[in-house]
Amino acid sequence: MEPIKIALTKGRTEQQVVPLLEASGINCQGLKNKGRKLIFNDDPRYDFILVKGPDVLTYLNSGTVQIGIVGSDVLDEQENSQYAMLNLSVGKCRFVLASTADFNPQQQRRKIIATKYPNITKRYFEGIGEDVEIIKIEGSVELAPLIGLADAIVDIVETGNTLRENNLRVYAKLQPVNTKLVVNRLALRQYQPQIKTLISNLQTADRQAVKSKLIRE
């Protein structure tokens, strides 16, 4: 049997998920000392590729990988149709609407909102019946209301440190975020027993990590 190909989001997700993969009995030797390498096949059952979050879905939708491990922020933004089959306890954070202390959510002028997540932002404001202008930026989102690019931002908050250190406050809480394992629909039929075993082992490792407080719930 061919190894199952798994696209893993590099960066934060990778750092939090590799210990869980290891605890579930997968050899992650290469992933732990990776340097600039992008493909890892230390465990004969799996080929891991390291990619940016949005690209996980490009690989998954094309069928070139069978499984993706990615934040629900990315899935929500791309309105993905693949199966989310496992919720992990890592990557937990939340979307918020935030701005400076003098921001007036009831302002008469059409608001300008800066974000890395234009679709999530659009859906949120449509949901509350408000028409806003959305400016897409790629990072350091908290700068936008401080420099006058936008009236407010929609972004992810975990500890709240970035908001605090930039004197921003939360004006609305949007949806929570966590890391998910998603499976290509066709692959699920082709590799069902192997995928089920992987999911079951990973779920056990995740629960164990929460129980032993290696990760907080």
Ligand X SMILES: O=P(O)(O)OC[C@H]1O[C@H](OP(=O)(O)OP(=O)(O)O)[C@H](O)[C@@H]1O
Ligand Y SMILES: Nc1ncnc2c1ncn2[C@@H]1O[C@H](COP(=O)(O)OP(=O)(O)OP(=O)(O)O)[C@@H](O)[C@H]1O
Query: What does the binding site for ligand Y look like in residue numbers (CB under 6 A)?
Result: 9, 11-13, 52-53, 71, 73-74, 91, 93, 139, 156, 158, 177
**Using the rule CB under 6 A, is 216 a contact of ligand X?**
no
Q: Which of 70, 113, 141, 209 binds ligand X (CB under 6 A)?
A: 141
Cβ atoms of 54 and 68 closer than 8 Å: no
Phi-psi region of 148 (alpha: psi -120 to 50; beta: other; left: phi over 0): left
Pick out residues in 147-176 that bind ligand X (CB under 6 A). Answer: 155-162
Question: What is the helix (H) or strand (E) element at residue 163, kind and residue range?
Answer: helix 161-165
**Using the rule CB under 6 A, is 208 a contact of ligand X?**
no
Q: By C-beta, is 4 or 8 nearer to ligand Y?
A: 8
CA 1 to chain centroid: 30
Pairing of strands 133-136, 112-115: parallel
Residue 181 CA to residue 75 CA, distance in Å, equals 11
Q: By C-beta, is 12 or 123 nearer to ligand Y?
A: 12
Strand intervals (E) in 61-164: 67-71, 83-87, 93-99, 112-115, 133-136, 152-157
Minimum Å distance from CB 44 to ligand Y? 28
Q: By C-beta, is 13 or 80 nearer to ligand X?
A: 13
b/e map 49-81, b = 16+ CB within 10 Å: bbbebebbbebbbeeebbbbbbbbbbbbbbebe
Sign of CA dihedral 53, 58, 61, 62: negative
Given ligand Y, ligand X, none, residue 141, with its beta carbon under 5 to 8 Å by kind, binds ligand X
Minimum Å distance from CB 124 to ligand X? 16
Given ligand X, ligand Y, none, residue 155, with its beta carbon under 5 to 8 Å by kind, binds ligand X
Pattern 100-139, ligand X, x by CB under 6 A: ---------------------------------------x
Provide the binding-site residues for ligand X, judged by CB under 6 A: 139-142, 155-162
